[in-house]
Amino acid sequence: MRRKAQQEYDVIVVGSGAAGGMCAYVLACSGVKVLMVEAGRDYDPVTETPMFQLPKDAPMRGAGTAEKPFGFYDATVDGGWRVPGEPYSSAEGTDFLWWRARMLGGRTNHWGRISLRMGPYDYAPRSRDGLGFDWPMSYEDVEPYYDKTEMLIGVYGSNEGLENTPDSAPGVLQPPPAPRAEEMLTQKVCAEQLDIPVVPAHLAIMTQRQDADRLSRALWPNNALAQRVTADSMRSRAACFYATPCGRGCSIKANFQSPTVLLPPALATGNLDIITDAMVREVTVDSSGRANGVHYVDKRTRIEEHASARVVVLAASALESARIMLNSKSGAFPDGLANGSGLVGKYIMDTVGAGVGGQIPALENMPPHNADGASAMHLYMPWWLYQEQARGQLDFARGYHIEFGGGRKMPGFGFMGGLAPFTDGAYGQRFKEECRRYYGSFLWFDGRGEMIPNEDCYCEIDPGSVDQWGIPTLRFHWKWSDHELNQARHMQKTFASIIESMGGQVTSTVHDDGARAIARPGQIIHEVGGVIMGDDPNRSVLNQFCQSWEVDNLFVTDGGCFVSNADKNPTLSIMAIAWRASDYIVEQLASRSIG
Amino acid sequence: MSDQPRVSDDTKRALPILGQDGAGVPMDRRQALKVMAIAAAGPTLASCAPGEAPVDATIPAPTSNPKAAGTAWDPDLVAPSVPWERTLSADELASLADLCDVIIPADDRSPSASSVGAHDFIDEWVSAPYEGNERDLVVIRGGLLWLDRESTDRFGDGASLRFRDCSLEQKHAICDDICYEPNAPAGYEAGARFFDRVRYLTSTAFWTTTNGMQDLQYIGNVPLTRWDPPPPEVLRHIGVE
């Protein structure tokens, strides 16, 4: 299956993660012949996931390293902020980190599974505050695709009817798991003292098995093939058994990963072929300037190959797709493919991140109980200060949500490493007793906030560098605005007030300077933009269906098309937008409008 | 590899299925394996709900991953191994083991740190080919010699005295001066940093073992058939009803 079986395909999809997997699934289910080209190796979570393996059996108790930044057992293969043989650079004064995962399914294998919908405000931010850009479509345009995506992948959560925090249609969400002790205490204190809403989080983790018959019919009315492959795939997935971290992957398919949820049904249609270890260098065009395929390097032979198709979909991740376009130079496109606007690589964004830790006496000496849960958070705080922001009471324009956790988790590397200040450096028998007492009493709060796109954040081809595949590499430029820096400062002060309201003690530094509070650009791994969509061909690269204005059979369906980066982690929106674009491709192919 | 055996208090790697009171209902081992086996079998067994799978469909969890390249970027996660050689000498390890036990001694709930291999873990750590670990190698090696020097100066009575040969009272007298840097007397800052690093690594090593997790009464990492709210005694403890 991992090879090209035909001379020509209807559609080439570059990348196999959230966007590529979704496009391949929708297109293949719709009868379109698809070739997927993936730069990393083949990967199967069912047989490769270290379910239940313990830190003590891993090198250095599973501590993170340069090669495995999220720890030894993290699912990421050949990835991280550094990829061997694939460098990138930063301009003077820029400190950008670029995460990649060279594996089938890409970052969907290790991601946080946090699945928050962008809301009505998030699709029209400029109309609200005059900053950034509006999207060329509204929340209502994308809403049906959020419902479909959530039904397909399985998302737990609740409908709370909160401002700009959309409800899902009835029967779409799975029940959220009951909160853990530390989550309940945080919820109580936030409600009673701070007026911060703490509600069930939305995560792409199944708390029950899917109703395969109902869902497959709802997703694919009048399409027997799609119903069959979708229902079969759903029946092969088990519900979460509340053990082992999602970031390792999931051999029982209880959480969403492209290789367990999107690719198996797509392959089962017989309409999808996948080539792995194939690094795309450029999109090729014919004499009329229309895309006709891709050049890729077969990593195993180190020989360049070509694949042909009527339509090319880039879903290689926002920045990799921009890189491919910038490297696709021809007589018709001397500045890179479909880059007449000059905007390819421009307006890249990450998420604003800042965190604070705390020790909570009320959680000390907790009666023993299983606190693992669905590995990720059961509750979170959606942005709650829309009205204050609208009244101009805050010194930043956009919101953030709060992710938090802690409690009696499995001990891992660094366990009780911060105890000395609480115990005046206890050792010996007293240290043992203090560890028992303090176990589970540490919490961490993380803000995830909206960054507003700006002209100082962009990537370009570094003229002096190629990677080990001979492909020119990217150079990054970055500058935060005061909106992001002030927001990061607000995050830390808020978290400190939550911790103090809980009677706790802050264990990390709370900075007055937002530039010291904020995470490094790229560190939150929510990079989007660079191939932005819009209404105006002179001021955007794509239309609202991810279709290039200049090359009508070229699409970019990953986060590159984002024109804003709301505080809602992007993966769910990437999939919903990719599904919508795929429906459009199917229509256009059927009417011979493209290809 | 080092000639020191890797101390492992529990080599079982398959599904640790434990019974427990309170939250959730544990699956039994057979049931959990079935769920994993059904997932592995894919759509051909797709019509079987977990409770319906034939027993002979049960397959063991994978014991290795042939797809992994075996590099640092793509190690075998299913059957992990430590690819680098150990650095510390047998004599250094003996001194380190002694210090580990000063930090975490045996008591009625669990054994001492060295008896579950904390010193061996520290050897693994300081031998790792990373910048921070190489720094720690200097800190640990130098610190062990510093401890011996300090023991000689304080209690040697003119002769050389190893820290590990001191009485427990003598050891505590030294450790009391280096157990917390903000309280350390002038001239003892480096000793305090060394001690803090050994305590950090010893704590990681000890509490991540099965003995350490049992002592803490960590009772997760077991598959459950459902997830329940915290038990009543927990809700009472945090004052949430």
Q: Does A413 touch chain B (CB under 8 A)?
A: yes
pLDDT score of A138 more than 60: yes
Q: Which of A44, A65, A184 sits opposite B238 (nearest CB)?
A: A184
What pLDDT shows up at residue B149?
98
Residues A494 and A573 in one domain: no
What pLDDT shows up at residue B52?
39
Q: Are the beta carbons of B239 and A67 separated by less than 8 Å?
A: no
> What is the tens place of the pLDDT at every residue in A309-350?
999 999 999 999 999 999 999 999 999 999 999 999 999 999
What pLDDT shows up at residue A6?
78
Domain membership of residue A574 (yes or no) is yes
| Model-level ipTM above the cut of 0.90 | yes
3-state secondary structure B100-140: HHHHCCCCCCCCCCHHHCHHHHHHHHHCCCCHHHHHHHHHH
Q: How many contacts, defined by CB atoms under 8 Å, are there between A and B?
A: 275
Domain membership of residue A90 (yes or no) is no
Residues A191 and A232 in one domain: no
Residues A337 and A233 in one domain: yes
Contacts of A84 in chain B (CB under 8 A): 73
Domain membership of residue A290 (yes or no) is yes
Rounded distance between C-alpha atoms, residue A122 and residue A572, angstroms: 14
Structural domain count of chain A: 2
Which range (A102-106, A288-292, A536-540, B6-10) has the least confidence? B6-10
Gap from B149 CA to chain A (nearest CA, Å):
21
Give the rounded distance of the alpha carbon of B38 from its chain centre.
Answer: 33
> What is the tens place of the pLDDT at every residue in A226-238?
999 999 999 999 9
What pLDDT shows up at residue A595?
76
Residues A424 and A285 in one domain: no
Residues A153 and A15 in one domain: yes
What's chain A's length in residues?
A: 595
What pLDDT shows up at residue B48?
36
> What is the tens place of the pLDDT at every residue in A373-421?
999 999 999 999 999 999 999 999 999 999 999 999 999 999 999 999 9
Q: Are the beta carbons of B204 and A414 separated by less than 8 Å?
A: yes
The DSSP code for A198 is -
Domain membership of residue A310 (yes or no) is yes
Sign of CA dihedral A356, A357, A363, A368: positive
- Lookup: tokens for A323: 């890189």
Residues A587 and A540 in one domain: yes
What pLDDT shows up at residue B14?
31
Closest B-chain CA to A73: B77
Residues A171 and A280 in one domain: no
Query: Tokens 């058994």 correspond to what residue?
Result: A241
Per the prediction, chain A carries an average pLDDT of 97
The DSSP code for A191 is I
> What is the tens place of the pLDDT at every residue in A518-576?
999 999 999 999 999 999 999 999 999 999 999 999 999 999 999 999 999 999 999 99
Residues A4 and A107 in one domain: yes
Rounded distance between C-alpha atoms, residue A410 and residue A406, angstroms: 10
CB within 8 A of B234, min separation 6: which ones?
A181, A366, A367, A369
> What is the tens place of the pLDDT at every residue in A495-512?
999 999 999 999 999 999
What pLDDT shows up at residue B54?
36
Residues A491 and A551 in one domain: no
3-state secondary structure A247-273: HHCCCCCCECCHHHHHHHHHHHCCCEE
Residues A180 and A191 in one domain: yes
Rounded distance between C-alpha atoms, residue A486 and residue A482, angstroms: 6
10 Å Cβ neighbour count for A214?
Answer: 13
Rounded distance between C-alpha atoms, residue A320 and residue A325, angstroms: 9
Residues A297 and A413 in one domain: no
Instruction: Give every residue of chain B whose pLDDT is below 50, as ranges.
Output: 1-25, 41-58
Query: Tokens 């049931």 correspond to what residue?
Result: B31
Residues A318 and A396 in one domain: no
User: Which stretches of A381-527 are DSSP H helices?
Assistant: 386-390, 420-423, 429-438, 482-501, 514-517
Angle between helices B90-103 and B189-207 (to 10 degrees): 80
Query: Which of B10, B20, B73 is the mutation pick for testing A, counting most A CBs within 10 A?
Result: B73
Gap from A373 CA to chain B (nearest CA, Å):
7
What pLDDT shows up at residue B6?
35
Q: Which domain holds residue A379?
A: 162-200+352-449+481-517
Contacts of A61 in chain B (CB under 8 A): 121, 204-205, 208
